[in-house]
Amino acid sequence: MSKLYLIPSPIGNLADITYRAVKVLEEVDLILAEDTRTSGVLLRHYNIQKPVTPYHQHNEHKVLQHLLQQLQAGKTMALLTDAGTPGVSDPGFLLVRECIRAGVPVECLPGATAFVPALVNSGIPMNRFTFEGFLPPKKGRHTLLTQLAQDERTIVFYESPQRLVKTLEELIKYFGATRYCCVCRELTKMFEEHTRGTLQEVVDYYKEKGVKGEIVVIVGGA
């Protein structure tokens, strides 16, 4: 029976995948991978030998109809992004939406996503929060940061190591230097790090130390 499975993949440690996810990957007809090289490491680790085809933001519009036709013909597929849950700041939304419109069943398995452990481990209230993904680089950035500065909810977003210091300095201008934050780096990996303090303290730390790896930023609400 046709179905699209959304499979959360480890964000660092290859052991962070469920037994069920491995079983589904072993049984589907085709695996869609954001990067076949990255997914290949995971698939080889679990000795999963299935056809793999690229599916990413640069080709999703081009291959969408072909994939839908295969699904409607009875094939089962699993979507793997490089790390975390498909659709969360990763490709997936377009395919899910079109499958629903076409009457193709969609099932998302529970599993890894970077912002949840970062939020839980931050020590910042998480009863109400807003997840912003990657902040807009230019257009709309000023408007968004102005709004977020007044938001009483905890703010969660992703950032690249190259832009982290600049973004933290920008947050100081909008939020004030004493706003509490936590920068989570390299989650689940050997050099996992959680840097907590005021925005000023954290930006000073990374100015001195430098930044590498995947980043999640948690900022306390107004």
Check whether residue 139 and residue 173 sit in a common domain. yes
Check whether residue 152 and residue 210 sit in a common domain. yes
Pairing of strands 180-185, 154-159: unpaired
Q: 130, 155 in Cβ contact below 8 A?
A: yes
Check whether residue 125 and residue 212 sit in a common domain. yes
Residue ending a domain, choose from 108, 143, 160: 108
* Cα separation, 183 vs 4, whole angstroms: 34
Q: For the segment 41-93, what is each residue's pLDDT rounded down to a tens digit?
A: 999 999 999 999 999 999 999 999 999 999 999 999 999 999 999 999 899 99
Reported as a pLDDT band with limits 50, 70 and 90, residue 212 is very high
Report the number of distinct structural domains present in the chain.
2
Rounded to the nearest integer, the mean pLDDT of the chain is 96
Q: For the segment 130-139, what is each residue's pLDDT rounded down to a tens digit?
A: 999 999 988 8
Tell me: pLDDT of 27 over 90. yes
Check whether residue 160 and residue 74 sit in a common domain. no
End-to-end CA gap in the chain: 49
Check whether residue 67 and residue 147 sit in a common domain. no
Share of the chain above pLDDT 70, in %: 100
Check whether residue 45 and residue 15 sit in a common domain. yes
Check whether residue 46 and residue 137 sit in a common domain. no
Q: What pLDDT score was predicted for residue 1?
A: 81
- For the segment 127-146, the average pLDDT, to the nearest whole number, is 94
Q: Look at the block and give the residue holding tokens 């290949």.
A: 40
- CA-based Rg of the chain, rounded to a whole angstrom? 19
Q: What pLDDT score was predicted for residue 76?
A: 98
Check whether residue 99 and residue 119 sit in a common domain. no
Q: What pLDDT score was predicted for residue 191?
A: 92
* Cα separation, 178 vs 165, whole angstroms: 16
Q: Which domain holds residue 120?
A: 115-219
Q: What pLDDT score was predicted for residue 54?
A: 96
Check whether residue 92 and residue 120 sit in a common domain. no
Alpha helices by DSSP H, 135-193 = 141-149, 164-175
